[in-house]
Amino acid sequence: MIMRLRTLITVAAMIVLAASLTPPASASSYAVQLDGDKFRVVWEVDAMQNLTALSKTMVFPQNLSYAMTGADLTAFNSALRTALQSRILTVVITQPAVSLSSSGVNVTCSFHCPLQWLNVTVAFDVQEPTTLTAGAGRYDLSWMAFRLAENLEAAGQAFNTLGQSYLIQAMPSFFPSPTPGRTFTVKVGGLLVSKADYQAPVQEIVLLDTSSLVTPLEEWAHSQDLNAGTQTWRSPNDAGFNITAIQQITEVDLITNIYYFAAARVSAEFSAPLTAHAQGNVLIVDLSNGLWEGAAAFIVVAALATLIVTTILDRKLTRSSRRRKASRNH
């Protein structure tokens, strides 16, 4: 009876633990909006982790509440400009702003540990020179998919190179020496890794990364709001990073799975007025205030009118010619 009660208590405790460690839904977003002659970018990354419960190491910077200024903001702006101009050389970055916040973490906690979170909000404007062709401007949006590789800091703490700065130190705990009844299943970016090959993909993890948004804009899910005069494209891919580890404990009549993770999942959307349309990864915008469409419509109407007049005249001439021939025969 005591053994059965102990087993029930263990099961109940593990169910609570597993539920608390399952990765929560993410509210992160990467929103790009065409606003006049510029693109406004607002990028929110909400990351969470509980790897510390096993690793006993820092995984995110902790206790941040910081609006970036000075040398930190200068370094960020330089990294951002380099990344975007490696995609489209002519883009210009203006009005950069970055704010960060994070919770603390108890590295001695070992059971039912609170999740640690790291929130970063980035905003900036992108201007891309364009030339008019038949009243329309063309913008190459390849710059929207990029990766900041630099070791950026906020108030003395690294926050971007999570893989190199934190995660690589935490991961050995998830590849312990073989123990009967204890196994780990570890994935990085959804791919199964082992003790021999986890280092490379983990070290590549950075917080500010939208390089996975490779699907052309034309193939994103598209919707229109005719009342607001806007349209929105939503990416079929998410940005972000993901490490998961499942520890399976096998005992007599009991198998328990304990879940660990560090992750951020970022959805992406692009919005523009109804005067724009996507062609591959190029946005084509009517910049003539409707004049080109009006001129094109006038040309079509004029062409139709010319055709109608020509047809009528041709018929009249044909009938006149027939009457003259008939009168000669008489």
pLDDT score at 306? 52
Query: 149: burial class by Cβ within 10 Å (0-12, 13-18, 19+)?
Result: middle
pLDDT digits (tens, 9 = 90+) for 42-70: 999 999 999 999 999 999 999 999 999 99
Confidence check: pLDDT of 110 > 80: no
Tell me which residue of 321, 295, 184 sits closest to 248, measured CA to CA: 184
> Where residue 254 falls among pLDDT bands split at 50, 70, 90?
very high
Confidence check: pLDDT of 8 > 80: no
Find the angle CA(64)-CA(68)-CA(73) to the nearest 5 degrees. Answer: 135
In angstroms, rounded to a whole number, what is the distance separating the alpha carbons of residues 199 and 256?
A: 27
pLDDT digits (tens, 9 = 90+) for 150-186: 999 999 999 999 999 999 999 999 999 999 999 999 9
> Where residue 132 falls among pLDDT bands split at 50, 70, 90?
confident
pLDDT score at 188? 98
> Where residue 252 falls among pLDDT bands split at 50, 70, 90?
confident
**Could you give the percent of the chain with pLDDT greater than 90?**
73
Interacting residues of 110 by C-beta distance below 8 A, sequence separation 6+: 53, 54
Q: Please state the rounded mean pLDDT for residues 187-196.
A: 97
Tell me which residue of 210, 221, 215 sits closest to 144, measured CA to CA: 210
Please answer whether residues 239 and 213 qualify as being in contact, where contact means their C-beta atoms are separated by less than 8 angstroms.
yes
